[in-house]
Amino acid sequence: MEYKYMKNGLRIPTIGFGTYKLLGEEGKTAIINAIKDGYKLIDTAQMYGNEDLVGQAIIESGIPREDLFITTKVNNPIRDYDKVITSIDESLKKLQTNYVDLVLLHWPIPLDYRDNWIVKNNEAWTALEFLVTTGKIKSIGVSNFYPEHLEPLLQDCLIEPCVNQIRLSIGDYKEELVDYCFRNDLVIEAYSPLGRGKAGDNTIIIDMANKYNVAISKLMLRWSLQHGFIPIPKSSHDNRIKENLDVFNFEISSEDMNILDNIKGYSEETSLKPELIQF
């Protein structure tokens, strides 16, 4: 596994395994397989309802906890200081660990806080900062935040966010947001890096994958890596889990990267701004 360093000096794996919608025995088996296959970054969230499954999979994998990088996210309705503290304690119990490597605020403008989201995000962030001082959290960040959401947080925080996890893939390349994050030394994690299964309908992507003699999924993950993103693919099939990790043995040319960057509209839609999402 390759790593990169965040602004707080701690390192993070350059590819992760997503667990959204992984539930039950099938979900646990997929997580165990991913860990055994070599994934170090395991991404979950309070909203996913599977932190207990992730915790049990880690134990059953036999891989030492300290060899893994576990991420969870604060649920959208939770922004009160005390409730954030309580929610992380509950996450730790479910994950069966005494610390989480990375905790993210899941969305910038939850439905319950449309009118005072800046104040409530700052309150939740203060709670996360406190938990960093206790050692229960190693690093903190955000998810689905655009510049207008990050600016108020950056102006108020004591510990700056290390990560912004956003939806990114070929055909959904948010160049302005990416540039903003990199200017502010934020590591970018790319969720849905495979375009939610729509890339197979795009002839440019198909032809490019054939040119490099790789699966479409590997081409898309390699595109993320070459942009400096940390892709977080998800699968419940062990052969695809292994295949998605095998992306370090080829390189897309700069000319082809430019072609892929400029693909538009093959997926069902580009991501909506977070304030339009009803959570």
218 close to 247: Cβ distance less than 8 angstroms:
yes
Q: Are strands 16-18 and 11-13 parallel, antiparallel or unpaired?
A: unpaired
Question: Which pLDDT score is estimated for 201?
Answer: 82
Catalytic residue among 39, 48, 113, 191: 48
Question: Which pLDDT score is estimated for 276?
Answer: 59
3-state secondary structure 144-172: CCCHHHHHHHHHHCCCCCCEEEEECECCE
What is the rounded CA–CA span in Å between residue 222 and residue 248? 8
Stated pTM of the model: 0.94
Domains in the chain with CATH codes: 3-276 (3.20.20.100)
What values do phi and psi take at 156, rounded to 5?
Answer: -110, -20
Kindly give the parts of the chain with pLDDT less than 70. 265-279
What is the rounded CA–CA span in Å between residue 119 and residue 139? 21
Residue labelled with tokens 């992380």? 88
Question: Which pLDDT score is estimated for 200?
Answer: 74
What is the rounded CA–CA span in Å between residue 172 and residue 226? 15
Please confirm, yes or no, whether 48 is among the known catalytic residues: yes
Question: Which pLDDT score is estimated for 5?
Answer: 98
Question: Which pLDDT score is estimated for 196?
Answer: 74
Cα angle, residue 140 at apex, residues 137 and 144 outer, rounded to 5°: 140
pLDDT digits (tens, 9 = 90+) for 63-85: 999 999 999 999 999 999 999 99
